[in-house]
Amino acid sequence: MATEKCFAKGSPSPGPVPKDRLRLYSMRFCPFAQRTRLVLDAKGIKHDTINIHLKEKPDWFLEKNPLGLVPALETPAGEVIYESPITCEYLDEAYPEKKLLPSSPYGKAQQRMMLEHFSKVIPYFYKIPTARRNGEDVSGQEAELKEKFAKLNEHLEKKKTKFFEGDTITMIDYMMWPFFERTEVLELKHCLDHTPELKKWTEHMLEDPAVKNTMYSMDTYKAFYKSVAEGKPDYDYGL
Amino acid sequence: MATEKCFAKGSPSPGPVPKDRLRLYSMRFCPFAQRTRLVLDAKGIKHDTINIHLKEKPDWFLEKNPLGLVPALETPAGEVIYESPITCEYLDEAYPEKKLLPSSPYGKAQQRMMLEHFSKVIPYFYKIPTARRNGEDVSGQEAELKEKFAKLNEHLEKKKTKFFEGDTITMIDYMMWPFFERTEVLELKHCLDHTPELKKWTEHMLEDPAVKNTMYSMDTYKAFYKSVAEGKPDYDYGL
């Protein structure tokens, strides 16, 4: 699409997906949608992007995708795929060049187990900033998050590799990255102070072209998260 | 293993996994472990089973599998795989004869999305019986469960097939089945009263050999769930 501006309730439908590409329904600052954006970019998959106003979703979007979730993919055949890990595995299977998942069944199972563990880390990225905004004491939750980061650090220490599953980037790195990209704006960066290997991993990630292509500046994040805190998310900030 | 009796804290370790088979760590009445048992049986995969006392887990089990979850698989190479959907996808990939997942990326994504929806149905199988035991009014929760069953019924109505993804049984049927097997003992069977297609599906499922091989009688379930309600689960009931 020519515009990155979000489609809200009442916006005209973008019409069918052109034959030669995929369509991604996204929201520019959503960490889950960024997982799919990272995979699309890393694999060089031709696609257009329709950003959705998550507070006022267009009816035509809810018809395609009754849960109204982003990320969602739509194919020219009208097939709709949602849930970030499902979209990413779909992309890796449907576009087999530059595989991001290992080919062995156990290798894949390992990445899925790690993702399952990581799904228990994600809530802290939401709970801590909210609690802090409400003036609550977050030291307990921060201690829990630090413990989870220590486990990830331990994994990297044992593996002695640049990325989570080797010296090249794989799917699990992209699945975790969007949350780490937001540690600074969410004021969680100090939780990485005692996890040097994890910190080094974030530095390696910042050198990856797909990460560079999908990330926003600190100033942009600050402005967006300020609008979220005020209850009026500005999905089009900076456009 | 010669014994089906569960291994509790202090039990001797069963030793390494023999070269020609897999090992399943299970609990005889666990619906999540039954998913893996169904897949192992349907695909005819040679394995032994070690049942675990879930309230008093052996130390050697926690060393292999720090979360202490069942089901878990262990290979002769000492690879450990846990989380029921991960174990089942692993089995389908590692043992490609008699595939239970479709080969197309979109077909696989559809099954994963359906499983994701179903994961929101599962909590009702725990919440309703617990609330009922506590003398609470469960009519609201039952109405919600009926609505979820109605969605599944609608899916089958649209597909016009015996099983969820066609006229032959596939992975998604096995992933959902263990919970339906327990509707009677959990006193949730009446929630199926207005979902005739879903009811017919349960009848087709009961004819499947893997379902027959992994299920327990109503009397056994009643006795087991009674022991659970009394706070002393009898994992070895009937042995």
B37-51 per-position pLDDT tens digit: 999 999 999 999 999
- Over pLDDT 70: what percentage of chain A? 99
Chain B residue numbers touching A81 (CB-CB < 8 A): 106, 109, 113
- The interface predicted TM-score (ipTM) is 0.94
Contact B106 A83 (CB under 8 A): no
Q: Which pLDDT score is estimated for B68?
A: 93
Judged by average pLDDT, the poorest of A58-67, B100-109, B136-145 is A58-67
The whole-number average pLDDT for the span A94-123 is: 96
Q: Is the pLDDT of residue A166 over 60?
A: yes
Supply the mean pLDDT for chain B: 96
User: What is the side-by-side strand order in the sheet with A47-51?
Assistant: A47-51, A22-26, A72-74, A80-82
Judged by average pLDDT, the poorest of A31-40, A61-70, A119-128, B88-97 is A61-70
The whole-number average pLDDT for the span B16-32 is: 97
Chain A residue numbers touching B112 (CB-CB < 8 A): 83, 86, 89
> In angstroms, what separates the C-alpha of A99 from chain B's closest C-alpha?
14
Contact of B90 with chain A, judged by CB distance below 8 Å, is answered with yes
DSSP codes joined into one string, A79-130: -EEESHHHHHHHHHHHS-SS--S-SSHHHHHHHHHHHHHHTTTHHHHHHHHH
B124 touches B141 (CB < 8 A) = yes
Q: Which pLDDT score is estimated for B221?
A: 96
Contact B112 A94 (CB under 8 A): no
Chain B residue numbers touching A86 (CB-CB < 8 A): 109, 112-113, 116
- Catalytic (active-site) positions of B: 30
A191 among known catalytic residues: no
B196 touches B151 (CB < 8 A) = no
The whole-number average pLDDT for the span A127-136 is: 94
Model confidence band, residue A3 (pLDDT cutoffs 50, 70, 90): confident
Judged by average pLDDT, the poorest of A1-15, A125-139, B132-146, B194-208 is A1-15
Of B93, B105, B109, the CB nearest to A108: B93
H helical segments located in chain B? 31-42, 59-64, 84-94, 105-118, 122-133, 139-159, 171-181, 196-206, 209-214, 218-229
Q: In whole angstroms, what is the distance from residue B8 CA to residue A23 CA?
A: 52
Which residues contact residue A177 at a Cβ distance below 8 angstroms, ignoring those fewer than 6 apart?
A34, A35, A38, A205, A211
Contact of A109 with chain B, judged by CB distance below 8 Å, is answered with yes
Of A82, A93, A94, the CB nearest to B113: A82
Contact of B79 with chain A, judged by CB distance below 8 Å, is answered with yes
Task: Measure CA A108 to chain center.
Answer: 19
Supply the mean pLDDT for chain A: 96
Contact B109 A116 (CB under 8 A): no
Q: Which pLDDT score is estimated for A2?
A: 65
Q: In whole angstroms, what is the distance from residue B150 CA to residue B154 CA?
A: 6
**Nearest residue in chain B measured CA to CA from A82:** B113
- Over pLDDT 70: what percentage of chain B? 99
C-beta neighbour count of A209 within 10 angstroms: 10
Q: Is the pLDDT of residue B155 over 80?
A: yes
The whole-number average pLDDT for the span A3-25 is: 95
Structure tokens at B117: 């929806």
Instruction: Fill in the DSSP letter of residue A26.
Output: E
Structure tokens at A39: 């995979």
pLDDT digits (tens, 9 = 90+) for B28-40: 999 999 999 999 9
Structure tokens at B178: 């263990």
Contact of A112 with chain B, judged by CB distance below 8 Å, is answered with yes
Contact of A64 with chain B, judged by CB distance below 8 Å, is answered with no
Q: Which pLDDT score is estimated for B2?
A: 64
A76: preceding bond cis by omega (within 30 degrees): no
Q: Which pLDDT score is estimated for A67?
A: 87
Q: Between the CA of residue B207 and those of B86, B122, B164, B187, B202, what are the distances in Å? A: 26, 23, 15, 22, 9
For residue B76, which of B24, B26, B36, B18 has the smallest C-alpha distance?
B18
Q: Which pLDDT score is estimated for A188?
A: 96
Strand B22-26 vs strand B72-74: parallel, antiparallel, or unpaired?
antiparallel
What is the helix (H) or strand (E) element at residue A145, kind and residue range?
Answer: helix A139-159
pLDDT digits (tens, 9 = 90+) for B62-119: 999 888 999 999 999 999 999 999 999 999 999 999 999 999 999 999 999 999 999 9
- Over pLDDT 90: what percentage of chain B? 97
Q: Which pLDDT score is estimated for A66?
A: 85
Q: Is the pLDDT of residue A16 over 80?
A: yes
Contact of B116 with chain A, judged by CB distance below 8 Å, is answered with yes
**Nearest residue in chain B measured CA to CA from A106:** B90
Chain A residue numbers touching B81 (CB-CB < 8 A): 106, 109, 113
The whole-number average pLDDT for the span B18-30 is: 97
